[in-house]
Amino acid sequence: MSYKKDPKTGKWLVQYGKRNPKTGSVVLLRRKNIETEAEARKVERELIIKVTEKIHEKVIPKWEEAIDSYLDHCRDNGLLITTVYNAEKCLKKQTKCWNGRLIDSITTAEIRDLIKGPTINSVSHRKTMLKFVKGVFNVALENGLLLRNPAPMIKFKI
């Protein structure tokens, strides 16, 4: 974490690095040829944010990876092939809007909107989808990727 002036060119060099807590590898970002010291300070703050985001992305999986982890967990625990197939189809079809997102960025309100949304009509399908979504987050919770399960406790009347 530093910015310094290059005596040869008279321009500023900014760099920031931090170790990944899980892997121990260094994540380093560097920018050079910056004109002023004020701009160098601004770039330094941006680099701090970018390095933190990079480390966070390496530690926390995206939604698709969490689904795959859940399906592997289901297979390992002896669930029927058809049950795993149904879970995969339901999760991948109904949660396309979460693709590419980190699992800790998905909120309880978004899960509630998905479950009570217009794409799922029957009560039994809503219960099944909630069960699958809770399962994905529970596996992530067991693996230490989340601090709490964001899936809401919804009661259904049949």
Distance CA 35, CA 148 (A): 45
Quote the pTM value.
0.75
pLDDT over 70 at 157, yes or no: no
pLDDT of residue 117: 85
Distance CA 135, CA 71 (A): 9
pLDDT tens digit string along 102-155? 999 999 999 999 998 888 888 889 999 999 999 999 999 999 888 898 988 877
Sorted by where each starts, the structural domains of the chain and their CATH numbers stand as 2-59 (no CATH), 63-142 (1.10.150)
pLDDT over 60 at 53, yes or no: yes
Q: Taking the CA atoms of the chain, what radius of gyration do you get in angstroms?
A: 22
Distance CA 87, CA 83 (A): 6
Q: How far is CA 69 from CA 19, 25, 66, in A?
A: 26, 24, 5
Strands 2-5 and 12-19: antiparallel
